[in-house]
Structure 1
Amino acid sequence: MEELQDPRFRLLSQVKRPARYIGSEVGTLPPKELGSDGVTVCLAFPDTYELGMSYLGFQIFYRLIKSIPFADVDRAYAPWPDMEKLLRAEGLPLCSSEWGLSLKAFDVLAFTLQYELTATNILTMLALGGIPLHSDERRDEDPIVIAGGPGAFVPEPLAPFIDVFCVGDGEVLFPPLLELLRGTKGMRRDERLNLIAGLAGLYVPGVTPVVPSSVKRQIVMDLENAFYPDSMLVPLT
């Protein structure tokens, strides 16, 4: 009954739709035992749980990252205002759905930019997760904050807050990015971002202040053989 020891557990009786915050969906996979070079990713949907769980991209990326031997993945969603208010009042961080880890405990925090009105939710999630809002204020131990999706094609409004923009399909972009992060563990943050900027389809505002013409959208060319999950995460309610 470890969940009963979680200080967030007692908050559930004070919020609407508490099932949003309990995780344990049908189809979740157990955490891996990663080595010292393992890479942990938190997929962050900057809107409510109900909207995030209906997003096919998260279903694909969850299983895709789980299939990479040296990587593991969890999820997080923007809390409803009642839960946000309680987290702030209690001084508790926004945590991932399955492992209950603070967002700042991950190696990578990956947002999806599905529509512009979620921009402020990204800032809220960063603040609740204990991560500095501005990318130039983050330390070596803070997560690499990445963002992809349709909004990544117009990155400048969020450039001060995002470390890396993924331009194109995540199925193509995630594997080489995670491989690079695995191989650069222990390096300084600025060194890692400089190397990331050299990968196709990735825009790093802190390294390249103006979007270069060489950042080209990466797309899945063969849909017949593209990665697709054989099962889905299904909410309990």
Structure 2
Amino acid sequence: MVDSNYILRFLSENLMKVSKPARYIGGEYNSVVKDLANKDYLRIAFSFPDVYEVGMSHYGLEILYWLANNLDFVYAERVFLPWVDMVEMMEKNDIPLFTLESKTPVYKLDVLGISLEYELSYTNVLKLLELSRIPLRARERNDNHPIVIAGGPVTYNCEPIAEAFDVIYLGDGEVNLEKMLRVIYETKGMNREERLKLLSKIEGIYIPLFYEQEGRKIIPKYDFAPSKIRRNILKDLNSVKPPVKKILPHVESVHDRGVIEISRGCTRGCRFCHAGYVYRPVRERDADQIVESVKELISNTGYDEISLLSLSSLDHSQIEKIVDKLMEELKDKKISISIPSTRMDAFNIKIAERISQVRKTGLTFAPEA
């Protein structure tokens, strides 16, 4: 029988045979460990269908991880797609995909949440399900399989891979994540189809099994399924505190720095930009909350670089105030600020001079915007 002890033994015997073994050990600083012996949690694996160092850079996964673990009835863990050498080793030894925190096989959990950020990850999603020993199609799953949920920007045009998911969540996770997880928790032991019916009543939830294609349209099969799914929109970004206890990865991640989201959405509406449409409307986080969150993040992680995340950071209406306040706090500590996304017409020499006082950091320009 495959359990956490079996997986730990496999890791101890095989880790030195694969590249970057630290990808698979878990136990990072700030990761969440809960006592599973004394409480019946809703067990969730949040997954980014790529390797560890890519997935650990994904801010959306970080938000969901902390939102879920702040709920007293939920234990959320992480799982990423292993590199090819580890995939071969796992398949050779008949080891299923497992969570980083508790080394629990994914198929033993209640929920598997998968982030869909780009269409080229579709094949990775299928490999992740295969390694997890979960049937690839939702209609082939029974009551004992985890409920497989998709979220992220690609869900707005999800039909090419919709059959792989029991539930597709549209929009901002902060809005109805708790409601969705509570329904799943309170219906444990019920028939799978009945559980999905209850989930379909939540705003922004699409259950592909309850729909069919008619010509070029997707229409409900049943009267209880809504004819239109409206995405969840977080109206006030200040109503939800950003994550300030970033997990510090064992392997250098793609974006190895502290991150605070300062706004969501974009004012520009460029026709070629997918994100500019799916993250509408523009919502800004207040300057004071940003500064306090940055201070907490630094205290909890020790990062010496902070990134102000947004689709167009310099378009924030309080950007000069934010930079000035942060430089007052961070300059003497030799902590730098980076601006990850900047339109050419929004570039500000004054701000560039301010953030370069500590050391030269990155400015990412979008000349096509």
The TM-score bracket by the shorter chain reads: over 0.9
**What CA RMSD, in Å, does the superposition of the two structures yield over aligned residues?**
1.7
Partner of residue 41, structure 1: 44
Q: How does 1:174-189 map to 2 (within 5 A)?
A: 174-189=177-192
Partner of residue 21, structure 2: 18
**Deviation larger for 197-206 or 227-236:** 227-236
Pairing partner for 2:230 from 205, 210, 216: 216
How many correspondences in the alignment? 235
Is 1:233 the counterpart of 2:236? The answer is: no
Pairing partner for 2:94 from 69, 91, 94: 91
Partner of residue 168, structure 1: 171
Aligned CA distance change for structure 1 residues 156 and 12 (closer, same or farther; 3 Å):
same
Which secondary structure state, in structure 2, belongs to the residue aligned with residue 75 of structure 1? strand
Measure, in 1, the Cα distance between the counterparts of 2:32 and 2:8: 22
Aligned CA distance change for structure 1 residues 94 and 4 (closer, same or farther; 3 Å):
closer
Higher RCO, Cα 8 Å, sep 6+: 1
Which secondary structure state, in structure 1, belongs to the residue aligned with residue 43 of structure 2? strand
Identity %: 37
Measure, in 2, the Cα distance between the counterparts of 1:173 and 1:45: 20
The alpha-carbon deviation at position 8 of structure 1 amounts to: 2.7
On the 8 A contact 2:44/2:77 being kept in 1, the answer is yes
**Deviation larger for 24-33 or 185-194:** 24-33
**Deviation larger for 23-32 or 216-225:** 23-32
- TM-score (ref. length: structure 1): 0.94
Structure with more strand by fraction: 2
On the 8 A contact 2:48/2:115 being kept in 1, the answer is yes
Pairing partner for 1:8 from 11, 23, 30: 11
On the 8 A contact 2:8/2:103 being kept in 1, the answer is no
On the 8 A contact 2:48/2:80 being kept in 1, the answer is yes
The alpha-carbon deviation at position 214 of structure 1 amounts to: 2.4
Q: How does 1:121-132 map to 2 (within 5 A)?
A: 121-132=124-135
Residues 177-231 of structure 1: per-residue CA shift (max 9 Å, x gap)? 0011112111100110111111100100002333555211101111112242221
Partner of residue 78, structure 2: 75
Q: How does 1:55-204 map to 2 (within 5 A)?
A: 55-204=58-207
Which secondary structure state, in structure 1, belongs to the residue aligned with residue 243 of structure 2? coil
Residues 5-61 of structure 1: per-residue CA shift (max 9 Å, x gap)? 52233221111111111111111122244644x311100110010110011112111
Measure, in 2, the Cα distance between the counterparts of 1:213 and 1:173: 19
Partner of residue 271, structure 2: none
For 2:92, the aligned partner's letter is A
On the 8 A contact 2:30/2:248 being kept in 1, the answer is yes
On the 8 A contact 2:51/2:82 being kept in 1, the answer is yes
Partner of residue 355, structure 2: none
Measure, in 2, the Cα distance between the counterparts of 1:114 and 1:162: 15
Whose radius of gyration is greater, 1 or 2? 2
The alpha-carbon deviation at position 77 of structure 1 amounts to: 0.2
On the 8 A contact 1:45/1:78 being kept in 2, the answer is yes
Residues 76-124 of structure 1: per-residue CA shift (max 9 Å, x gap)? 0011111111111111111111110111011000000011111111111
Measure, in 2, the Cα distance between the counterparts of 1:107 and 1:144: 6
Gaps of 5+ in 2: 213-217, 220-225, 252-369
The alpha-carbon deviation at position 3 of structure 1 amounts to: 8.9
Partner of residue 302, structure 2: none
- TM-score (ref. length: structure 2): 0.61
